[in-house]
Structure 1
Amino acid sequence: MAIAKANAAVSASSSAGMRAGDIGKKYGIYLFLLVAILVTTAVSPTFLSPANVSNMLMQLAPLAIVVIGQTFVILVRGLDLSVASVMATAAVIATSFNGQNSDAALILLACIGMGAATGLANGLLVTKRNVSPFLATLATMIVLQGFRFAATQGAPSGNVPPIYRLIGSATLSGVPYNLMVMVVLAIIFAVLLHRAAFGRRVYITGGNPITARLVGIAADRVTIICYMICGVLAAVAGLVLSGFVGVVDNFVGRGFELDSIVAAVMGGVALSGGRGTIPGALAGAAILVVLSNAVVMVGMPVQLQIIVKGVVIIVAASLYVRTVR
């Protein structure tokens, strides 16, 4: 009887531990985001003021759009270093017309075409030429940069159409328009990834490309489409960011290539492929924005801001790794 009770106690304890582990695995990134918000609010009460929240959401939108695309690529065991260059190229395209709203649709089509072509090139290099994702996307990043400098002579000029300025920097009752664009895109691509047959193919391809081919999935095609999605979303993010910044140069979006990868990985998207969700990746992006804003709100020196941001990223990533082991 005593042994049975002991076994029951051990079993209950083990079940409780498993439940706690499952909770940590499933919701750990969201709990970390909540803690970061609460701690920053305690240190700086103005952190959650309507004006600052609106500002953070406006900063979040472009990064989150890129993170959605980066998630698709990482899920198929890749990464895309060209996203920042695609964003800058889209921003330059946006200022290459007459700066009128009548050009807005043409600009959007041109940017989507450029992003899709870049993604196609990346996907073909990775799948058909067996170039590593790092080198393939680094190469397209450099090529796009060269085209931009050749086209603008290093000094882009022109005006972003007012509609893009409105989307990038205006709000509706305190809610940024660019956030609305991000939410719509997040819903569309979350449904595509988590509810559609294509999403299942993405996970199977990322989990084991050989198995994917054996069950009849065109793994190369799936990978190429993921890179094209990433390119298109980076172009859209470039348009949104150009409207937010207001001043276009050849380096709009600088740093987004690494931030988007870090955000996705912090949010539980495995670099080994086949595991991760869009909501988790977006939570990772939110953590980066909260951290960037928090260190400014508390008045830290620039050097200390960088250190704190790096340390918190390491802690968040390590906590996630412990929950999935």
Structure 2
Amino acid sequence: MNVDSIPGRVDTTAKGRQSNIGRIAKFTSQYGIFVFLLVLIIVSGAIAPSFLSGQNLSNLVLETVPLAIVTIGQALVIMTGGLDLSVASIMATAAVVGTSFSGLPIDVAAIIAVAIVIGAVTGLVNGLLVTKRQVSPFLATLASMTVLQGLRFAYTKGAPSGGMPHLLRVVGSSTWHGIPVNLAVLIVFAVIVGIVVHRTVLGRRFMIVGGNRVTAQLLGYRVDAIVIGAYVASGVLAAIAGIVLGGYAEIVDNQVGQGFELDSIVAAVIGGAALSGGRGTIPGALAGAAVLMLASNVVVLIGLPIQAQIVLKGVVIVLAAACYVQR
């Protein structure tokens, strides 16, 4: 007698297959971007041996850190169901501020303080527009981006001159025994924000607010304050990233950080953040930023023309998204 034909018998084979598929899907959901990053590193080393050289890896980290810092803030905003297009303009404004002071240590402290205030105020305005005036995040942050750009061009007359103070250049472009100094800045902010998001009640509230604001309100959460806080954090992190990037570039112009608004959104999303809100991780956001910068780095090393670089970067984004954002 065929045991499979016994009435009421559960098909354990089918259940086993479903269980395996579920485990694979869960693994892909949680770790897909890291697996993809590892594979991309291996492939890059195979097609461009100079990729794995110490000098290239050090330069890659130096270039990745500013985007990674911005992406952390962008991920926070996306987790609450918004997005921030003003980050690149905040970065450029912070970098311009860096050229407006002398190189004395007290002036470096003033640069950082002024830049943080600019980022925080911009984030506060963005958050208030989104929560109190019900302006869409796209329009609110686009308006802030445009206003900052206009103020910056008026202040610099379109052509800022001068470089960043020596101390900020050290932070942005120097290495210590081959390890980029700016990596320490990234680690500090990544650890702080990571603990808040993944180990505190506030972090869970970020996710709940992004997933369903009505539910969050019924639970008694201060939804507006949480959303505003995310935009303020994004603005502050963008300002810090602008200073770091300005230190790396050394000579600042009005285009510092150009394109980072979209790159940070892409990095956060391929790192697992949902544009609809309610989901995302800080490690995933960092991995997403690394994928973007690694793709740009390797196409330069193999000598592809700019058109091919753009196409290949797009292909990498699609593949990373397929590996991680399929859920």
> Which residue in the other structure is 1:278 paired with?
282
Residues 297-306 or 69-78, more deviating: 297-306
> Which residue in the other structure is 2:222 paired with?
218
In the alignment, structure 1 residue 132 sits paired with structure 2 residue 133: no
Aligned AA (1:32): F
Report the Cα distance in structure 1 between the residues aligned to 2:318 and 2:97, rounded to whole angstroms: 37
Given that residues 101 and 162 in structure 1 are in contact (C-alpha distance below 8 angstroms), is that contact kept between their aligned partners in structure 2?
no
Shift of 1:20: 1.1
Shift of 1:6: 7.5
Shift of 1:10: 1.8
Report the Cα distance in structure 1 between the residues aligned to 2:36 and 2:291, rounded to whole angstroms: 8
Report the Cα distance in structure 2 between the residues aligned to 1:100 and 1:248, rounded to whole angstroms: 18
- The counterpart of 1:154, out of the listed 152, 158, 171, is 158
- The counterpart of 2:320, out of the listed 316, 321, 324, is 316
- The counterpart of 2:148, out of the listed 123, 144, 151, is 144
Given that residues 108 and 165 in structure 2 are in contact (C-alpha distance below 8 angstroms), is that contact kept between their aligned partners in structure 1?
yes
Given that residues 40 and 47 in structure 1 are in contact (C-alpha distance below 8 angstroms), is that contact kept between their aligned partners in structure 2?
yes
Q: Which runs of 5+ in 2 are unaligned?
A: none
Report the Cα distance in structure 1 between the residues aligned to 2:97 and 2:27, rounded to whole angstroms: 45
Shift of 1:196: 1.4
Report the Cα distance in structure 1 between the residues aligned to 2:310 and 2:319, rounded to whole angstroms: 14
> Which residue in the other structure is 1:90 paired with?
94
Given that residues 162 and 251 in structure 2 are in contact (C-alpha distance below 8 angstroms), is that contact kept between their aligned partners in structure 1?
no
Given that residues 120 and 228 in structure 1 are in contact (C-alpha distance below 8 angstroms), is that contact kept between their aligned partners in structure 2?
yes
In the alignment, structure 1 residue 74 sits paired with structure 2 residue 78: yes
Classify 1:300/1:13 alpha carbon distance in 2 versus 1 (closer, same or farther; 3 Å): same
> Which residue in the other structure is 1:235 paired with?
239
Shift of 1:189: 0.4
Residues 70-79 or 94-103, more deviating: 94-103
Report the Cα distance in structure 2 between the residues aligned to 1:166 and 1:276, rounded to whole angstroms: 32
Report the Cα distance in structure 2 between the residues aligned to 1:6 and 1:34, rounded to whole angstroms: 40
- The counterpart of 2:60, out of the listed 56, 69, 73, is 56
* 3-state SS in 2 of match to 1:81: coil
> Which residue in the other structure is 2:250 paired with?
246
Report the Cα distance in structure 1 between the residues aligned to 2:180 and 2:253, rounded to whole angstroms: 23
> Which residue in the other structure is 1:265 paired with?
269
* 3-state SS in 2 of match to 1:150: helix
Identity %: 56
Shift of 1:205: 0.4
Given that residues 65 and 185 in structure 1 are in contact (C-alpha distance below 8 angstroms), is that contact kept between their aligned partners in structure 2?
yes
> Which residue in the other structure is 1:293 paired with?
297
The Cα offsets for residues 150-197 of structure 1, whole Å up to 9 and x where unpaired, read as: 111111123311110000000111111111110111000000111112
> Which segments of structure 1 move beyond 4 Å, counting only runs of 4 or more?
none
Report the count of equivalent residues: 323
Aligned AA (1:188): I
Report the Cα distance in structure 2 between the residues aligned to 1:31 and 1:6, rounded to whole angstroms: 35
* 3-state SS in 1 of match to 2:110: helix
Aligned AA (1:311): V
In the alignment, structure 1 residue 114 sits paired with structure 2 residue 115: no
Aligned AA (2:308): L
Given that residues 172 and 244 in structure 2 are in contact (C-alpha distance below 8 angstroms), is that contact kept between their aligned partners in structure 1?
yes
Residues 98-107 or 77-86, more deviating: 98-107
TM-score scaled by length of structure 2: 0.96
Given that residues 75 and 276 in structure 1 are in contact (C-alpha distance below 8 angstroms), is that contact kept between their aligned partners in structure 2?
yes
Aligned AA (2:285): A
Shift of 1:40: 1.0
TM-score scaled by length of structure 1: 0.97
* 3-state SS in 2 of match to 1:251: coil
In the alignment, structure 1 residue 2 sits paired with structure 2 residue 7: no
